[in-house]
Amino acid sequence: MSVPPSVIVWFRRDLRLADNPALVRAAATGRPVVPVFILDEDTPGLRPPGGASRWWLHHSLAALAGDLAARGSRLILRRGQAAVVLDALVAETGADTVLWNRCYDKGSVARDTEIKAGLRARGLQAESFNASLLTEPWEITTKAGGGYKVYTRFWQACRAAGDPPSPVAAPDSLPAPQAWPVSDDLAAWRLVPNAPDWAAGFSEHWIPGGQGARDRLEMFLDGAVTGYAAKRDFPGVAATSGLSAHLAWGDIGPRQVWAAAVKDAPAGEGRETFLKELVWREFAHHVLHHFPDLAERPMDAKFDAFPWMPDDGLLAAWRRGRTGYPIVDAGMRELWATGTMHNRVRMVAASFLVKHLLQPWQAGEAWFWDTLVDADPASNPFNWQWVAGCGADAAPFFRVFNPSLQGQKFDKDESYVRRWVPELGTDAYPAPIVDHKGARDRALAAFKSLKRS
């Protein structure tokens, strides 16, 4: 009796079993399934994950491997150019089908398009699916058929389209091949730092993987979601979901989050605001689809001529949380210690770098890419362009946050800054590296010169 050919499922930013269309399709064939993750840092045009994301990836892959083992399967790990690795796996396993879920950054799209064409040209089946978004970024369009640049209109169009499709359950089991291909050892990839271990504190805050994501979502929907609209801007209050990194690596999918929120959270402003935040993430991917160079170039072309004043010393002070502005410094230190930063503080810290210090937004985007566990190819550059005033539906550049007033408004009791800046009020804390009024005037003058030119 002949053995049916295997199906390769290529995992990427979809490190889960439930609501994973590629895996579900593979299981439905009844044929042997070979789950694979490829650490592709060699294909030209791809942006490798930053250091904090690599820490998350290590632990999420370990969790995924455990989930697969519970269903009688394995996770095969390989490193190298994805096209080369997949060709080798097809030859080793006799597979005639390769399935995956889509990524939407420019480098991944170019690579995947070429791989799909190459497999099909050899008579193999290659198919991709949507596991990362509520809807594909090209499915919501303006009346003219183009992309949206204003979030409110995008949100209204998404709501008019109705609820996204319901998530699908994980396969109960996955048929194994007669012989498993050789796998790399996850530890050998050295995704987790050890000399020094700057991520030592991450595990106090995060449990990567599908179970960690489900537990965090359940806890949020059982409590904080009701006060989410009123409290989410206060960094000293545990009012947010903490799901962004789980979504970035696909420990959980947005359709799962949406369905759970609609089912389990009480109707009201809290739930509605939370759903809007999910759609803000969608909006970032929508914009990335229509503007693939989002991480490199400003959407507003006139910002190509902005008179930035790059300064390694100012950039270093910002990175280390030594600016002399407590809310900014608290955020930057929280980022280094935990791999995340409260969203309100992200806006303040980013605005400070771009407007008070006149450092290019790309420098801040690159630092966040390396230090955030939730660094996402769409959300990270999208939000930096929004803060810098050069992106879609952007905050005007002339809106310059006063970091001191922001601290007073959103951290009145200083519970947040005192946690991360314990030396506040002593000689050990630095004086402000710029004067707010002078820096604001300089930023506005720079913007006016841009408009004149």
Per the residue annotation, which of 206, 336, 361, 367 is the catalytic one? 361
Q: Compute φ and ψ for 97, nearest 5 degrees.
A: -145, 135
User: Is 180 among the catalytic positions?
Assistant: no
Per the residue annotation, which of 136, 189, 308, 414 is the catalytic one? 308
Average pLDDT, the chain: 96
Residues 332, 319 contacting (CB under 8 angstroms): yes
Q: What is the CA radius of gyration of the chain?
A: 23
**pLDDT tens readout for residues 358-390:** 999 999 999 999 999 999 999 999 999 999 999
Sheet strand arrangement including 76-79: 76-79, 33-39, 7-11, 97-101, 125-129
User: Is 384 among the catalytic positions?
Assistant: yes
The domain defined by 133-164+210-290 folds into 1.25.40
pLDDT tens sequence for the chain (453 residues): 577 999 999 999 999 999 999 999 999 999 999 999 999 999 999 999 999 999 999 999 999 999 999 999 999 999 999 999 999 999 999 999 999 999 999 999 999 999 999 999 999 999 999 999 999 999 999 999 999 999 999 999 999 999 999 999 999 999 999 999 999 999 999 999 988 999 999 999 999 999 999 999 999 999 999 999 999 999 999 999 999 999 999 999 999 999 999 999 999 999 999 999 999 999 999 999 999 999 999 999 999 999 999 999 999 999 999 999 999 999 999 999 999 999 999 999 999 999 999 999 999 999 999 999 999 999 999 999 999 999 998 878 888 999 999 999 999 999 999 999 999 999 999 999 999 999 999 999 999 998 765
Please give the CATH superfamily to which domain 7-131 belongs. HUPs (3.40.50.620)
Query: Residue 147: which region, alpha, beta or left (left: phi > 0; alpha: psi -120 to 50)?
Result: beta
What CATH class does 301-452 carry? mainly alpha
Per the residue annotation, which of 180, 189, 198, 280 is the catalytic one? 280
Per the residue annotation, which of 189, 272, 343, 402 is the catalytic one? 343
Per the residue annotation, which of 384, 386, 414, 420 is the catalytic one? 384
Quote the CA–CA distance of 277 and 361 in Å, as a whole number: 23
E strands within 109-248? 125-129
**pLDDT tens readout for residues 61-113:** 999 999 999 999 999 999 999 999 999 999 999 999 999 999 999 999 999 99
- Partner residues linked to 10 by β-bridges: 36, 100
Residues 245, 56 contacting (CB under 8 angstroms): yes
Per the residue annotation, which of 92, 127, 136, 277 is the catalytic one? 277
User: Is 343 among the catalytic positions?
Assistant: yes
User: Would you state the structure tokens that stand for residue 121, as one six-digit string?
Assistant: 């040209």
User: Would you state the structure tokens that stand for residue 85, as one six-digit string?
Assistant: 């690795």
User: Is 361 among the catalytic positions?
Assistant: yes
Domain boundaries, the chain: 7-131, 133-164+210-290, 301-452
